[in-house]
Structure 1
């Protein structure tokens, strides 16, 4: 007699991903509206929310996979692929735009050869938009990982990039 497939089986998940997700969900699943805090904590732990982790997160929070996937895909902050070794956030708020961020953004995209939400071919840099870094007095601004940089011009970006790769 043929058995029906077990729909509760989870895909093979690397042990580091499984451990991180289970640690986070165990700590946070009882919070009201736990999904967002869980996704933030998983991304903080792993650098991204791996697609393969969605079924495990859904199971641990008693949600559907569609619920979890929908939140990850709706909020641009969440990544489903590993980021580059450095993440460059370009401020797109009004103050930065008024001070040259559009020109800077185009320059950075051209220099790195990527668009927003992409990673350079060598895995060195990921480029992400952000809608305010709180550095309006020093517009235009970017943040590299956790380091804020203000009054940035295409030339200053190039100098930083050269020093970074020097």
Structure 2
């Protein structure tokens, strides 16, 4: 996973400014902020609201609606486990419990040392090969506990 810049208000303002005069820029700006900083800092909400003539509630609503916008820094490695029905039917719930124990972090959390974030997602598009797991951008299918341990070997 790429290293991110620590939150800097001036850098965030420069990103916002790069969209000046364009319409419909909230989503592209949010994507750029997340790409730059790794998450959307709470301090960005009033900055965006003022710059785009939106209410803070509107900005917050967009951020909270889209699951991929993160409000907190993520771990250096992000592990996503599919929780959709197809994967549940072939053992995803057992895999979740195992992953939590193996990585020492609960679903939806980030380890104290910042090394790993464990997320439940509802479909990785690999339904025929469930349970599916994505580590950063690498998709894995037919993941049981033994295979998970092999995949997770270098995470922590």
Contact kept, 8 Å, 2:15 with 2:33, in 1: the verdict is no
Larger Rg: 1
Q: Which runs of 5+ in 1 are unaligned?
A: 1-13
Count of aligned pairs = 151
Correspondent of 2:86 among 85, 95, 104: 95
Task: Tell me the TM-score normalised to structure 1 length.
Answer: 0.78
Counterpart for residue 137 of structure 1? 128
Q: What is the DSSP-based 3-state SS (H/G/I as helix, E as strand, rest coil) of the residue aligned with 1:88?
A: strand
Task: Tell me the TM-score normalised to structure 2 length.
Answer: 0.82
Q: Which runs of 5+ in 2 are unaligned?
A: 1-5
In the TM superposition, what is the alpha-carbon distance from 1:29 to its structure 2 partner? 6.9
In the TM superposition, what is the alpha-carbon distance from 1:17 to its structure 2 partner? 4.6
Deviations 1:128-160 (A, max 9, x none): 222221112221111111111111111211222
Sort the Cα spacing of 1:76 and 1:157 in 2 relative to 1 into closer, same or farther, 3 A: same
Q: What is the DSSP-based 3-state SS (H/G/I as helix, E as strand, rest coil) of the residue aligned with 1:126?
A: strand
The structure showing larger relative contact order (alpha-carbon pairs under 8 Å, at least 6 residues apart) is: 2
Correspondent of 2:10 among 13, 18, 24: 18
Contact kept, 8 Å, 1:48 with 1:82, in 2: the verdict is yes
Sort the Cα spacing of 1:41 and 1:107 in 2 relative to 1 into closer, same or farther, 3 A: same
Q: What is the DSSP-based 3-state SS (H/G/I as helix, E as strand, rest coil) of the residue aligned with 2:18?
A: helix
Question: What is the alpha-carbon distance in structure 1 between the residues aligned to residue 100 and residue 52 of structure 2?
Answer: 38
Contact kept, 8 Å, 1:29 with 1:38, in 2: the verdict is no
Contact kept, 8 Å, 1:17 with 1:46, in 2: the verdict is no
State the superposition RMSD in angstroms: 2.3
In the TM superposition, what is the alpha-carbon distance from 1:92 to its structure 2 partner? 1.6
Residue 28 of structure 2 corresponds to residue 37 of structure 1? yes
In the TM superposition, what is the alpha-carbon distance from 1:122 to its structure 2 partner? 1.2
